[in-house]
Amino acid sequence: MVKRFIIILMLLSGFTLLHAEETTPAEVPEGDSTTEQETKNLEHLDVILPPVISAVLAGIFMMEDALFYLVEWDDFEVWMKRGTIFSIHLPLYAVSPLQGVIATGVSGGLFASYELLRDQDADFFRNFFYTGIFQTGLYSTYLGYSGNRAKARPGIYNDDWRHETFAAQFSDDLGAFGGYYTEWKSYTLIDLITSPFKPRNFLDPLVGIFSVAGLISPLVKQSHDSAPWTTGKMYAGTWEMSPLAAIPMMLGFFFLESSIVSISEESHFRGFIYEELASNYGHIPAKIVDCVYFPAIHIPQEVFIAEFEPLTIGLNFLNRAILTFYMDNLYDRGGLERTVAAHFWIDFTLLFMQWLMASGEPQEDISAILAYLPELEIRIPLYY
């Protein structure tokens, strides 16, 4: 009965989140000029304060996550870490109480599912639910930013920076999918979920190349010793299954995981941080900050994964910085939808192929496949 209740709660919360799009107080009744002026003339600090607080809380949680595996934690510190991950989306209440309640409900449902799987020998899948709480927090920074920016006082933000980007300068030479993202808009969740499958995104050669790379790279670079065609068996996590059952199940799992990660991380890093910096300081300073910040927040996890190997950590930092620069330019080219599409196809194809190459043996944890090819993967790995 409890399991059914949790499943229903998550489905209802997710459905509501899909349809409670950025319906912020900016949508005021016609004719109420006083209310409209009050809700559409926010100063710059009013706009950015809630998402900045969420971003700081997310950074604190990332540091806690690193310390969790570097030092021994007692029960109080574990609950402190859990409290931090839930607190990330709390500033959203100041922008939209409804969306704040929804984010809390989704996070609660994910945490309950995580706990229910504790004794089910399903650690490979269980950690996905906890990671989802963090991703919900990251996405809430974008909801807060986009909701408030739509109510910003005219003149606060400068869209002219887009005309100076590399995409604008070479728009005539980029073919049918050229041009650049000329005007800021607030994307709905449905916009972002469907973005990887929209022709203007999927068929963009700068996006499509990731699908090819994700499919081919593991076959070329990864050992075939753990592949099912070598061992004669196939596992989904620790469960031995037939390929007819395991492959569709894992395709669905990685589709869900990649959708959540690509939407939340691109919304946070490109839709909030890069957009905010570029709108105030220009695209070049914004790219410099983003290319340092995004790889830098991976360092605590890289320390654990790479076991303090400075060369590996440094190379991964450089790889992610280059990929971040690429994603920033994709944002200039097609907006948040374009970067979500690219991020999705990077993660989806690469994660599935990495799992396939390792599926001939049991995988106790998803980190068994995340350790491969970090230079192509841009998701944030968290461990529990």
Tell me: the pLDDT tens digits for 247-305?
A: 999 999 999 989 999 999 999 999 999 999 999 999 999 999 999 988 887 776 666 65
The residue ranges of every structural domain in the chain are 2-376
Q: Tell me which residue of 249, 220, 225, 217 sits closest to 235, measured CA to CA.
A: 249
CA dist 213 and 220 (Å) reads 10
CA dist 365 and 131 (Å) reads 13
Q: What is the pLDDT of residue 218?
A: 81
To the nearest 10 degrees (0 to 180), the angle between helices 243-266 and 310-358 is 140
Bridge partners for 235 per DSSP: 240
CA dist 254 and 267 (Å) reads 19
Confidence bin at 29 (pLDDT 50/70/90): very low
Q: What is the pLDDT of residue 384?
A: 37
Asked whether 157 and 275 are in contact (CB, 8 A), the reply is no
CA dist 210 and 192 (Å) reads 18
Residue with the larger pLDDT of the pair 315 and 243: 243
Confidence bin at 173 (pLDDT 50/70/90): low
Confidence bin at 44 (pLDDT 50/70/90): very high
Query: What's the Rg (C-alpha) of the chain?
Result: 21
Q: Tell me what percent of the residues of the chain surpass a pLDDT of 70.
A: 78
CA dist 205 and 202 (Å) reads 8
Does the pLDDT of residue 378 top 60, yes or no? no
Asked whether 250 and 124 are in contact (CB, 8 A), the reply is no
Q: Work out the number of other CB atoms within 10 angstroms of the CB of residue 182.
A: 14
User: Which residue is associated with the tokens 């994700």?
Assistant: 214
Does the pTM of the predicted model rise above 0.85?
no
User: Which residue is associated with the tokens 């950025």?
Assistant: 22
Bridging pattern class, strands 239-240 and 235-236: antiparallel
Asked whether 6 and 113 are in contact (CB, 8 A), the reply is yes
Q: What is the pLDDT of residue 5?
A: 36
Q: Tell me which residue of 234, 209, 207, 229 sits closest to 219, measured CA to CA.
A: 229
CA dist 106 and 133 (Å) reads 8
Average pLDDT, the chain: 80
Bridge partners for 152 per DSSP: 42
Maximum average pLDDT range among 81-95, 150-164, 234-248, 267-281: 267-281
- DSSP string over 137-174: HHHHHHHHHHHHHTTBPTTSS-GGGGGGSHHHHTGGGS
pLDDT in tens, 79-88: 888 888 889 9
CA dist 182 and 236 (Å) reads 44
